[in-house]
Amino acid sequence: MKKSMLFLFAIAGGLAVGNLYFIQPLLGEISADLGTSATQNGWLVTAVQLGYASGIVFLLPLGDVKSRKKFVPLMVTLAGLGQVAISLSLDFNTLLIALFAVGFTTISGQILIPLTSELSDESHRGRNVSFVVSGILIGILGARTISGMLTDLAGWHTAFAIIGVANISLALALYRTIPNLEPKPQLAYPKLVAGIFALMVKNPWAFRLMSTNAIGMMIFSAVWTSSTLLLAGPQFNMSTTEIGLWGLFGIIGAVGARGTGRLIDAGKAEIATKIAWIATAIGMAVGALAEQSLIYLAIQLMLMDAALQAIGISNQTKLISSFPESRSRVNAGFVTVNFIGAAIGSAMTAVLWPTLGWAGIQLLGAAFALGALALWAINKRLMPQG
Residue 338 has pLDDT above 60, yes or no: yes
Domains 1-186 and 187-386 are alike in CATH topology = yes
What is the distance between the alpha carbons of residues 128 and 11, in angstroms, rounded to a whole number?
13
Write down the number of H helices and E strands in the chain. Answer: 16, 0
pLDDT score recorded for residue 253? 78
pLDDT score recorded for residue 258? 67
Q: What is the mean pLDDT of residues 279-308?
A: 96
Residue 322 has pLDDT above 80, yes or no: yes
What is the distance between the alpha carbons of residues 337 and 339, in angstroms, rounded to a whole number?
5
Q: Report residue 111's pLDDT band, with 50, 70 and 90 as the boundaries.
A: very high
Residue 318 has pLDDT above 80, yes or no: yes
- Indicate the domain borders of the chain: 1-186, 187-386
* Residue of 309 and 247 predicted with greater confidence: 309
Q: Per CATH, which fold does 1-186 belong to?
A: Growth Hormone; Chain: A; (1.20.1250)
Residues 6 or more apart whose CB falls under 8 angstroms from that of 42 comprise: none
Digit-coded pLDDT (tens) for 235-271 = 999 876 787 788 788 788 777 766 777 777 788 888 9
* Residue of 274 and 141 predicted with greater confidence: 274
Q: Report residue 368's pLDDT band, with 50, 70 and 90 as the boundaries.
A: very high
Query: DSSP letter string over 330-380?
Result: HHHHHHHHHHHHHHHHHHHHHHHHHHHHHHHHHHHHHHHHHHHHHHHHHHH
pLDDT score recorded for residue 103? 93
The CATH architecture one would assign to domain 187-386 is Up-down Bundle (1.20)
Least confident of 49-53, 157-161, 255-259, 302-306: 255-259
Q: What is the mean pLDDT of residues 45-58?
A: 87
**Per DSSP, which regions of 252-352 are E strands?**
none
Region label for 179, one of left (φ > 0), alpha (ψ between -120 and 50) or beta (otherwise):
beta
Q: Report residue 385's pLDDT band, with 50, 70 and 90 as the boundaries.
A: low
pLDDT score recorded for residue 337? 92
pLDDT score recorded for residue 168? 97
Residue 291 has pLDDT above 70, yes or no: yes
With CA atoms as reference, report the closest residue to 214 among 291, 312, 303, 122: 312
Q: What is the mean pLDDT of residues 344-356?
A: 88
Least confident of 42-46, 47-51, 239-243: 239-243
Residues 6 or more apart whose CB falls under 8 angstroms from that of 268 comprise: none
pTM for the structure as a whole: 0.82
